[in-house]
């Protein structure tokens, strides 16, 4: 068994946290997976994992070796990908996930242009505002707003997205103009919450003269679909925190107006998430680079116009 195969197996065991899951991913038996890890540990002279009947935990040596091992795989697979690009046409399916607003406004409109360049590729776009698991859901790539919790995923930043607190003119006329996050809380403003398992948007992170501060806002309206919050805000039901690119047209038309301008929201990162292995699939890499260029340009232009 080659040393490179042992390294590749170690990386998948580390990322998936299971010998059996790594074996399924690599299409080898658990016994072969375990044997490869044992050979690697014998070669290195250290334990890479602490094993019990119920758990598999990387040792400190394992954590350190993982960082170097992924660099090795990336260098080798990048060279392989360049050869594939030269000798083969891109073909096959790409499984991509994105938040609803990001997918509808930024990703989906660009897909036809990508497919014109690569007509033998199929794009399977899944839109959801819930957290997705790339490995268990078979995804090649996911677009993301915020900071990923899984340190085993690779990330490519696209842009810092400006956000704004906004409401309809009718709401402001009825309830008054809140000047800051403190006003939103103390005056009992109806705040529209993006809420789904694991979400924390009901605690709005705003910029104050003393630095970033979390405000625990409240309201009777919540949804796991960001577009629903926009519709509620337009109908005068409350204050929403929205990325500028999502509501730029409404801001220009005056159907939504900025509020709480003394404490604007902190920008939020937009990024691509992928596993190490997915990154080197040529069609995944080219789709990611294509979208990063297009999406970053759209966000920049929107921020400048608003």
Do 143 and 167 sit in the same domain of this protein?
no
Do 279 and 136 sit in the same domain of this protein?
yes
Do 65 and 17 sit in the same domain of this protein?
yes
Helices assigned H by DSSP within the chain? 3-16, 19-26, 30-44, 60-87, 100-102, 111-117, 169-175, 181-186, 226-234, 244-253, 276-279, 282-305
Number of independent structural domains in the chain: 3
Domain housing 206: 163-266
Do 73 and 104 sit in the same domain of this protein?
no
Cα(141)–Cα(52) distance, integer angstroms? 32
Band (pLDDT 50/70/90 cuts) for residue 87 is: very low
Do 277 and 250 sit in the same domain of this protein?
no
Cα(165)–Cα(181) distance, integer angstroms? 10
Do 221 and 287 sit in the same domain of this protein?
no
**Cα of 33 vs its chain's centroid, Å:** 30
Overall pTM surpassing 0.95 (yes/no): no
The two tokens of residue 1 are 């068994």
**Stretch 27-37: mean pLDDT, rounded?**
88
Tell whether the model's pLDDT for residue 79 goes beyond 90.
no
| Among 7-16, 27-36, 244-253, 296-305, the least confident range | 296-305
Residue 158 DSSP code:
E
Highest mean pLDDT among 11-25, 53-67, 287-301: 287-301
Cα(143)–Cα(127) distance, integer angstroms? 10
Do 26 and 157 sit in the same domain of this protein?
no
Cα(245)–Cα(85) distance, integer angstroms? 34
Do 152 and 301 sit in the same domain of this protein?
yes
225: CATH: 3.40.190.290
Band (pLDDT 50/70/90 cuts) for residue 304 is: low
Q: What mean pLDDT value characterizes the chain?
A: 86
Do 242 and 120 sit in the same domain of this protein?
no
Band (pLDDT 50/70/90 cuts) for residue 80 is: low
Band (pLDDT 50/70/90 cuts) for residue 28 is: confident
Do 116 and 38 sit in the same domain of this protein?
no
Cα(188)–Cα(191) distance, integer angstroms? 9
Question: What's the confidence (pLDDT) of residue 285?
Answer: 85
Do 77 and 130 sit in the same domain of this protein?
no
């Amino acid at each position: 068994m080659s040393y490179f195969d042992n390294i590749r197996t170690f990386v998948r065991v580390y990322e998936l946290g299971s010998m059996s899951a790594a074996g399924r991913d690599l299409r080898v038996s658990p016994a072969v997976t375990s044997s490869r890890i044992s050979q690697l540990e014998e070669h290195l002279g250290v334990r890479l994992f602490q094993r019990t009947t119920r758990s598999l935990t990387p040792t400190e040596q394992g954590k350190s070796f993982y960082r170097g091992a992924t660099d090795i795989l990336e260098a080798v697979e990048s060279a392989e990908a360049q050869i594939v690009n030269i000798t083969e046409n891109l073909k096959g399916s790409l499984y991509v996930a994105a938040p609803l607003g990001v997918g509808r406004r930024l990703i989906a409109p660009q897909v036809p242009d990508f497919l014109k360049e690569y007509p033998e590729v199929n794009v399977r776009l899944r839109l959801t505002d819930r957290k997705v698991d790339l490995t268990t859901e078979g995804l090649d790539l996911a677009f993301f707003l915020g900071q990923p919790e899984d340190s085993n995923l690779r990330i490519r930043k696209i842009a810092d997205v400006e956000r704004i607190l906004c409401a309809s003119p009718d709401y402001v006329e009825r309830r008054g103009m809140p000047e800051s996050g403190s006003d939103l809380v103390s005056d009992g403003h109806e705040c529209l919450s993006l809420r789904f398992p694991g979400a924390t948007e009901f605690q709005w992170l705003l910029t104050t003269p003393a630095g970033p501060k979390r405000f625990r806002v409240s309201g009777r309206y919540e949804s796991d679909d960001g577009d629903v919050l926009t519709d509620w805000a337009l109908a005068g039901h409350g204050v929403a925190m929205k990325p500028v690119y999502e509501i730029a047209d409404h801001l220009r038309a005056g159907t939504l107006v900025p509020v709480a301008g003394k404490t604007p929201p902190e920008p939020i990162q937009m990024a691509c998430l992928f596993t190490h292995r997915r990154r080197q699939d040529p069609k995944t890499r080219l789709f990611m680079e294509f979208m990063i260029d297009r999406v970053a340009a759209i966000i920049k232009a929107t921020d400048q116009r608003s």
